[in-house]
Chains A and B, each alone.
Chain A
Amino acid sequence: MASKLVRHSHLRALSSSISINNHIHSPHFSNPNRAPLSFSYRLFSNASSSSSSTGGFQRSSSLKDLELAKFASIAETWWDSEGPFKPLHVMNPTRLAFIRSTLCRHFRKDPNSARPFEGLKIVDVGCGGGILSEPLARMGATVTGVDAVEKNIKIARIHADLDPVASTIEYCCTTAEKLVEEDRKFDAVIALEVIEHVANPAEFCKSLAALTVPDGATIISTINRSMRSYATAIVAAEYLLHWLPKGTHEWSSFLTPEELVLILQRANITVREMAGFVYNPLTGRWSLSDDISVNFIAFGTKNCQ
Chain B
Amino acid sequence: MFSTFLSLLSPDSLSLSHTTTSHFSPTMNGVIARKLYVNVSRLKVRHKPFCTDAATRVSGSNCGQPSPEHKETHDLSNNIQHYDIAIVGGGMVGMALACSLASMPLTKHLNVAIIDSNPALGSRPYFNKEDPPDPRVSTVTPATISFFKDVGAWQYVEQHRHAYFDKMQVWDYTGLGYTRYNAQDINKEVLGCVVENKVLHGSLLSCIENTDFQKTIYPSKLSSMTLPPSPSSLGMDSTSSRPPLSSQRHLAKLELSDGNSLYTKLVVGADGGKSCVRELAGFKTTGWNYSQNAIICTVEHTVENGCAWQRFLPAGPIALLPMGDNFSNIVWTMNPKESTNRKLMNEDEFVKDVNNALDYGYGPHPTSSLFGSGEMFSWPRAGVTLSANDCFEVPPKVVKLASERMVFPLSLRHASDYVSKHVVLIGDAAHTVHPLAGQGVNMGFGDAFALSRVIAEGIAVGSDIGEVTVLKKYEAERKPANIMMMGILDGFQKAYSVDFGPLNILRAAALHGAHFISPLKRSIISYASGEQKLPLFT
Contacts and interface: CB of A to CB of B under 8 A. Distances in A.
Chain A interface main SS type: helix
A79 B468 CA distance: 12
A162 B250 contact: yes
B236 A80 contact: no
A79 B467 CA distance: 11
Given A1-B236, A89-B469, A114 B247 contact: no
Contact of A136 (B462, B464, B468): B462
B106 to A, nearest CB: 5
Interface string B226-265: 0000011011101000000101011000000000000000
A167 B247 contact: yes
B463 A76 contact: no
Interface string B426-467: 000000000000000000000000000000001111111001
A3 B236 contact: yes
Given A72-B234, A72-B245, A167-B247, A97 B462 contact: no
A113 B459 CA distance: 10
A209 B462 CA distance: 26
Contacts of B232: 76, 80
B247 A96 contact: no
Given A73-B235, A80-B232, A81-B468, A112 B462 contact: no
Given A89-B469, A100-B460, A135-B463, A65 B238 contact: yes
A164 B247 contact: yes
Interface string A55-68: 00000000001101
Q: Is the interface on chain B under 10, 10 to 19, 20 to 34, or 35 or more residues?
A: 20 to 34
A163 interface: yes
A2 interface: yes
B174 interface: no
A134 interface: yes
Contact of B464 (A3, A73, A76, A163): A163
Contacts of B463: 93, 135, 138
B235 A93 contact: no
Given A3-B236, A73-B234, A96 B462 contact: yes
Q: Is the interface on chain A under 10, 10 to 19, 20 to 34, or 35 or more residues?
A: 35 or more
Residue among B234, B250, B461 with the most chain A CB within 10 A?
B461
Contacts of B458: 93
Given A69-B236, A162-B249, A97 B231 contact: no
A161 interface: yes
A263 interface: no
Contact of B234 (A76, A83, A137, A164): A76
Nearest to B238: A69
Contacts of B247: 161-164, 167
A78 B236 CA distance: 17
B106 A114 contact: yes
A164 B147 CA distance: 34
Nearest to B249: A162
Contacts of A72: 234, 245
A112 B234 contact: no
A157 to B, nearest CB: 12
Contacts of A97: 460-461
B110 to A, nearest CB: 8
A112 B109 CA distance: 12
Contacts of A68: 245
B328 interface: no
B107 interface: yes
Contacts of A89: 469
A120 interface: no
B249 A93 contact: no
Contact of B231 (A80, A90, A93, A112): A80
A164 to B, nearest CB: 6
B501 interface: no
B380 interface: no
B502 interface: no
Given A79-B231, A81-B467, A162-B250, A100 B461 contact: yes
A97 B458 CA distance: 10
B105 interface: yes
A139 interface: yes
A77 to B, nearest CB: 8
Given A114-B109, A138-B464, 17 more contacts: A1-B236, A66-B236, A68-B245, A73-B235, A79-B231, A93-B458, A96-B461, A113-B105, A113-B106, A114-B106, A138-B459, A139-B462, A161-B247, A162-B247, A163-B247, A164-B247, A167-B247
3 tightest A-B CB contacts, nearest first: A135-B462, A76-B231, A3-B235
Interface of B: 105-107, 109, 231-232, 234-236, 238, 245, 247, 249-250, 458-464, 467-469
9 contacts: A73-B235, A73-B236, A80-B231, A96-B462, A137-B462, A138-B462, A138-B463, A161-B247, A167-B247
